[in-house]
Amino acid sequence: MMLSHFGQFISHDITLSIDTTFPNGKPISCCTKDGSSILPPNHLHHACMPIDVPEDDPFYSRYNVRCMNFVRAMLIFREDCSLGYAQQMNKVTHFIDGSMIYGSNSKELRNLRSFHGGRLKNFEDYGRELLPLTKKRDSCLMMEKGSACFDAGDFRVNQNPALVALHTLFLREHNRVAAELEELNPSWNDEDIYSGKPDRF
């Protein structure tokens, strides 16, 4: 079971497609508002690939749903400008570089660092080191009173409890190593400890 969850964890390091939207940033809909049918061809966006639900579907027929919205990811031109299969844009680097832990840009990284002892921010919950709580209201499906929604290098961290657990594991491991480095090298500053390789060497 852990294999599949770790696979998702790694996939979040190398892939994040960009949704195609209208020029104003609003999402594209390929179905009528109630999902009872696909929009007429003259109203369909070119990125629409709606899923036609059979009339006798054992689940969706009870709710009169005949259309499921599906929009293709944003495409880019091929490097040599030739015709061929579609190339999708990727919001993160395609390298296994820990971006799901540390973020994909310097702004995300600054938001995750504590800037103390080379450690990442965390949320102390009765002695347990958890991921920091997020202030982004759209990071979780629900933000009911008492529910926790966490922040990490990848916004998909809250998709399922196993993914949250893996992110927590890597946060704790980073901070454990940082604490060891701090103890072994009392002259190192926060940046030295964080990078694990002081500039002077």
In a domain, 200, yes or no: no
Tell me if 171 sits within 8 A of 101, measured CB to CB: yes
In a domain, 6, yes or no: no
Rounded Cα distance, 40 and 44, in Å: 6
Q: Are 66 and 153 contained in the same domain?
A: no
Structural domain boundaries, residue 105:
99-195
Q: Are 119 and 165 contained in the same domain?
A: yes
Among 60, 89, 118, the domain-final residue is 89
DSSP 128-161: EEEPPBP--TTSSS---TT---B--SSGGGGGSH
**Is 12 labeled as catalytic in the residue annotation?**
yes
How far separated are the first and last CA of the chain, in Å rounded? Answer: 42
pLDDT at 10: 96
Q: Which of 12, 45, 167, 174 is catalytic?
A: 12
pLDDT at 136: 76
In a domain, 63, yes or no: yes
Q: Are 85 and 131 contained in the same domain?
A: no
Longest dimension (CA), the chain: 71
Q: Are 33 and 72 contained in the same domain?
A: yes
Among 64, 89, 114, the domain-final residue is 89
pLDDT at 85: 82
Rounded Cα distance, 153 and 103, in Å: 4
Q: Are 53 and 84 contained in the same domain?
A: yes
Among 68, 89, 110, the domain-final residue is 89
In a domain, 160, yes or no: yes
In a domain, 32, yes or no: yes
- Evaluate if pTM is beyond 0.85: no
Number of domains composing the chain: 2
Q: Which residues of the chain have pLDDT under 50?
A: 201
